[in-house]
Structure 1
Amino acid sequence: MAELEGKDPDRYQEMVVATKKVDLPKALDLYKKIDAMTEWEVYLLRHEKWKKKWEEDPDFRDRELEARSDKFDALKVARQKEYARKRVDLKVLQVRDSTGREESWKKKTPWEQSVLLKEACLYYRDLEQRHSVDRRRIDLPARQESFLMEQRATGITPSEECDKWIALSQSPNQVALSLSNLRRSMNYYFFRRMSDELGLPGEAQHDLENRLSKMTHDFESY
């Protein structure tokens, strides 16, 4: 019976009154109507009642607006606290993840390292090429001549480049050579992202002079 009352309180009260008056046909009719109501019909009924009260009762409208304002303020404060907590957690997580990735990299065999380098090379070289295409679309005429330079020929795919730079091997020296090829050939920013993701050792990063050169590489080559 509580479910019926929740669906339509007004008609439920009519049914109760009819039952007390022993008006069973009316009570049964009301029961069937309430019981047959769908969730959508219940929602529409509640909405219409709320809308009518909102339009006709100024006090109710003021209370609703005040309650909404209080809820909004409370939600705003809660979100600010949550964002602050997540920023702290993210900083801790970034430090922890970076250390964990570096340790994980050191524990891998040269073969596993070379496989990871090949996969990362394919991913980030594809990103780098698409990024470069977008830049050329913005200012193609000014960079068209250098874009045709042999060292950046567009016919070379990321897969071909990575095969040339990285050899799958069990030799630590070969892994070091592959890293050197990537460091020399890739855009600085994409190489740095790849290094952070894989946990490459500090000696694999660029020194200051080389870093500045790689930062401006695209501007000179395209």
Structure 2
Amino acid sequence: MSVTNAERRAHRAATREARSGAGPTVAGVEPGANPGATAKFGLFGEVLTIGLMMAVVALGVVTLPIAVAAGIRHLRRFVAAEDSRAQLFWDDVRAGILPSLAVGVPAALLAAVLTIDVVLAGSGALPGGEAIAVVGWAGLLALAVTVLLAAGEWSPSRGWVAAVRAVPGVVRADVAGAAYIAAAAIFTGVVTWALAPLFIAGIGCAALAVVAVPARRRRGENRAG
């Protein structure tokens, strides 16, 4: 009897491991996706680690797009239980940092203009200040979402032009997903405003959101099929 119970416990444990995607295949059990995401504490630690690395790269401000893109690619490798050495992150940064300036410089200038508008609107120096402030905040949010989505589409082989051009299609294909990315961008802004060092956690979470949102859509499509 004890042997039977032990066998059942072993089979249940093997089934859990197989479904998580981290263990060996068990007959009749479909392996789970994203095995690297099954260890929740490990994933949280990786988000903080990659957030710190992204923050270092983003110190140049105009280098924020490549920092986010390289971080997203790193987290995709991690959750897929692929090779996720830190060296691969720096390889992506080196491969894309110069081309990314074509995105980073205009984005930084536009963000500066919108921020100035918001500040001036709040000071009462501009007529219709409340409306201008709303437009400014909306513009900053749209810019942040665009940068995040473009970074999610970037790869060294694809390049930044194709990544930016893909953003409208990504939004049309998953409007709810774009709203989730906007929420991640707002979260990053709020925690950074509250305490600047929290930018590390915020940007890491935003990168993870870009990885997780399309996976959510694919799971829904698989269930519908």
What TM-score results when the alignment is normalised by the length of structure 1?
0.25
Between structure 1 and structure 2, the one with the greater Rg is 1
What TM-score results when the alignment is normalised by the length of structure 2?
0.25
